[in-house]
Amino acid sequence: HMINAETLAQTKKGVRIINCARGGIIDDDALLAALQSGHVAGAALDVFHTEPPDMDAPLIQHDHVIVTPHLGASTTEAQQLVAEQIAELIADALVNGNIRNAVNMFPVDRVTYERASPYIDLAEKLGALQAQIIDGQPVALTVEYYGDALEHPTGLLTSAVLMGLMRELESGTVNLVNAPMLAQERGIRVDELRTTGQEDYSSLITVKLTSETESGEEQTRSLAGSVFGEDSERIVRIDGYTCDLIPEGHVIIVWNQDVPGVIGEVASTLGKHGVNIAFGSFSREHPGGRALTAYMLDSEVDDATLRHLDSLDAVLRVKYAHLR
pLDDT tens-place string over residues 251-261? 999 999 999 99
Claim: this prediction has a pTM higher than 0.75: no
d(CA 319, CA 317): 7
**Identified catalytic residue from 16, 22, 194, 317:** 22
Q: Of 110-114, 174-178, 244-248, which has the strongest mean pLDDT?
A: 244-248
pLDDT of the residue at 180: 93
d(CA 172, CA 177): 13
State phi, psi for 257 to the nearest 5 degrees.
-80, 140
pLDDT of the residue at 272: 95
Percent of residues, the chain, with pLDDT higher than 90: 77
Cα 44–49–51 angle (5° rounding)?
90
Give the CATH fold of the 5-70 domain. Rossmann fold (3.40.50)
pLDDT of the residue at 229: 86
pLDDT at 274 over 90: yes
Q: State mean pLDDT over 287-308.
A: 95
d(CA 183, CA 161): 11
pLDDT of the residue at 200: 87
**Identified catalytic residue from 70, 186, 273, 308:** 70
pLDDT of the residue at 97: 66
pLDDT-derived band of residue 117, with 50, 70 and 90 as boundaries?
very high
Own/partner pairs, 176-182, CB within 8 angstroms, 24+ separation: 176/105, 176/106, 177/104, 177/105, 178/104
Cα 174–175–180 angle (5° rounding)?
85
Question: Which one is the CATH code of 110-241: 3.40.50.720, 3.30.360.10, 3.30.1330.90, 3.40.50.300?
Answer: 3.30.1330.90
Strand order of the β-sheet with 137-147 is: 189-195, 137-147, 203-212, 218-228, 232-238, 241-245
pLDDT at 107 over 90: no
pLDDT of the residue at 289: 94
pLDDT at 87 over 80: yes
Concerning whether 22 is annotated as a catalytic residue, the answer is: yes
d(CA 254, CA 317): 6
- Neighbouring residues of 200: CB distance < 8 A, sequence distance ≥ 6: 236
Percent of residues, the chain, with pLDDT higher than 70: 100
From 80-94, 136-150, 235-249, 282-296, the region with the lowest mean pLDDT: 80-94
pLDDT of the residue at 94: 83
Cα 140–102–230 angle (5° rounding)?
65
- Listed in sequence order, the DSSP H helices in the chain are 5-9, 28-37, 58-61, 76-91, 110-133, 154-169, 179-185, 262-272, 303-310
Q: 175: how many CB neighbours lie within 10 A of its CB? A: 12
d(CA 262, CA 311): 12
CATH superfamily of 248-324: ACT domain (3.30.70.260)
Distances, alpha carbon 197 to alpha carbons 40, 207, 234, in Å = 62, 18, 21
pLDDT-derived band of residue 10, with 50, 70 and 90 as boundaries?
very high
pLDDT of the residue at 80: 93
pLDDT at 176 over 80: yes
pLDDT-derived band of residue 89, with 50, 70 and 90 as boundaries?
confident
pLDDT-derived band of residue 109, with 50, 70 and 90 as boundaries?
confident
pLDDT-derived band of residue 318, with 50, 70 and 90 as boundaries?
very high
- Name the residue type at position 141: L
pLDDT at 270 over 90: yes
